[in-house]
Structure 1
Amino acid sequence: MWNQPYRKSDVEAGGRQLYPTMLENPQLRWSFIRKVYSIVSFQLLLTVAVASVVVTVHPIKHFFASTGAGLAVYIVLIITPFIVLCPLYYYHQRHPYNYFLLGIFTVAISFAVGLTCAFTKGRIILESAVLTAAVVISLTLYTFWAAKRGHDFNFLGPFLFGAVMVLMLFALIQIFFPLGRISLMIYGGLASLIFCGYIIYDTDNLIKRYSYDEYIWASVSLYLDVINLFLSLLTLLRAADS
């Protein structure tokens, strides 16, 4: 068996091209993809751990729900990821600062996710998590399959950006002028579709466009896609259940 010829299609050997016009070394791109997915997996595990603590330790929930200090801390947690993105942009290629900032970014979002789950039924959380996992895996496999056959999803960028702007305006209207359960269901459904599109778009960029030094930005993009999809499904199912 040692005399078998080398198989160019062996994924682990890195010999398989990800798309027809690929000019770079496939082995380097596969290594980059594995690195990004390893980072995203760690971020998601950290999110699950932090959110579980927030949900199961009831004094944390009580602190945020019934005290003014809790509200102030919650606002800080919401703002922190946006603040951290600024230094992360400048240090995303400098180790270990990039990982340290990425950790702060992930923990802040994890607390926000945990607080959202703390006021949601366990059944709805489980349904949202299962749906999110199924959708993310399916869309990821589809994007790799489509890229292999020469499809390109770069055209989605402007449409998704415009859709997110509309979604943000919808959310602001909902905050100041609540439109009821039906509007929340519509919001959750639209947001879920938009972030499904972002998963395809960012996975396509991971395959073709991100440079090898942009593993932090690629990880942040995919992580936010997964978290936003989960929260959108959570909003949809919670509104449907009420």
Structure 2
Amino acid sequence: MSKSDPPPSYEESRQQQHGNYPYPPYRYPAQPGVYTGPGQPGIHPQAGLWQGPGYSPSFITPGIFPSSLRDAEGISSTGVWDSMSVRHAFIRKVYLILAAQLFITTSIIAVFAFVEPVRLFVIQNPAIYWASFPVYLVTYLMLVCCEGPRRRHPWNLILLFIFTLALSYMTGTISSYFDTKAVFLALGITAMVCVIVTVFCFQTKVDFTSCTGLLCALCVVLLVTGIITSIVLSFHYVPWLHMLYGACGAIVFTLFLAYHTQLLIGNRANAISPEEYVFGALSLYVDIVQIFIFLLHITGGSE
């Protein structure tokens, strides 16, 4: 057998996978343990082995390739995550967008906290807050529910920028009702919580992405508790009840932050596509802002 003979072409290999691989027009001498065609002497090879020009018996063996590479038509969706460079580039892009969002939000909160005329104007004109709420809601639903605008550049970044401005204004308006010390204390605690949760999610083996049902149930419980708390506080203000609701909300959204962080990592039960960098940044940003708002109720209610 000559080792210089070329291997079969791609089309011939495809035909061989579907059972239509034509036998070579010439015959090789019968060899022990080698199948040379119908009606020819020889023994069928073992499963997973193929004999042909230029191939050794151990060239293709079962289980040598991962399942993601054995899928039809090449690499599957899980095979994308096999590339560390793709994963790292995706995570880096998400956190760069998130850093820009948090910078805008922190700047607006600082203006509302330090500039007294702006603070008084926001408190005296709550209609502007309610006018920004529809903008926040519409852009959020478009980015979450509509895959086209969320993936189409540059409209996804434009919608995300409008959403960031609307939520930043709403967060700044809420902050203007609290003392400056309480606002910055909540900012500091939020920053520490985010760092701790991020480091924990990258190091732990606990899979938060498999607890989707539990997180949805906690979200419903938090919603019902918020409605009951609002009704009770409208008749009589109870400081400890206000702080308790803030603590529950901060815990729930901390778990959501861990859940969305592990979705970015990609080596858990669930993961998001590397094309969904806008959705990844949006999810983390909303979780962080909600943690800050609930912590603000705790720090502001303790004074």
Same fold (TM over 0.5): yes
Higher Cα Rg, which structure: 2
- Of 83, 89, 92 in structure 2, the residue corresponding to residue 31 of structure 1 is 89
Q: Give the drift of 1:102.
A: 0.4
Q: Give the drift of 1:22.
A: 9.3
Amino acid paired to 1:199: L
Query: What residue number does 2:176 align with?
Result: 118
Query: Quick one: distance in 1 between partners of 2:284 and 2:257?
Result: 7
Q: Secondary structure at the match of 2:209?
A: coil
Verify the 8 A CA contact 2:123 2:176 in the aligned structure 1.
no
The worse-fitting range, judged by mean Cα deviation, of 49-58 and 184-193 is: 49-58
Query: What residue number does 2:161 align with?
Result: 103
Output aligned runs, 1:62-101, within 5 Å.
62-66=120-124, 70-88=125-143, 89=146, 90-101=148-159
Query: What residue number does 1:10 align with?
Result: none
Query: What residue number does 2:56 align with?
Result: none
Output aligned runs, 1:160-199, within 5 Å.
160-178=215-233, 180-199=238-257
The worse-fitting range, judged by mean Cα deviation, of 98-107 and 53-62 is: 53-62
Query: What residue number does 1:14 align with?
Result: none
- Of 215, 218, 223 in structure 1, the residue corresponding to residue 285 of structure 2 is 223
Query: Quick one: distance in 1 between partners of 2:209 and 2:196?
Result: 19
Query: Quick one: distance in 2 between partners of 1:102 and 1:227?
Result: 15
Verify the 8 A CA contact 1:54 1:111 in the aligned structure 2.
no
Aligned pair count?
215
Amino acid paired to 2:217: G
After TM superposition, where is structure 1 displaced by more than 4 Å over at least 4 residues in a row? Answer: none
CA separation of 1:22 and 1:142: change in aligned 2, threshold 3 A: farther
Query: What residue number does 2:69 align with?
Result: none
CA RMSD of aligned residues (A): 1.8
* Deviation readout 1:3-57 (Å, 9 max, x if unpaired): xxxxxxxxxxxxxxxxxx9952011001000000000000000101122223333
TM-score calculated relative to the size of structure 1: 0.83
Amino acid paired to 2:260: D
TM-score calculated relative to the size of structure 2: 0.67
Q: Give the drift of 1:94.
A: 0.8
Query: Quick one: distance in 2 between partners of 1:59 and 1:122?
Result: 14
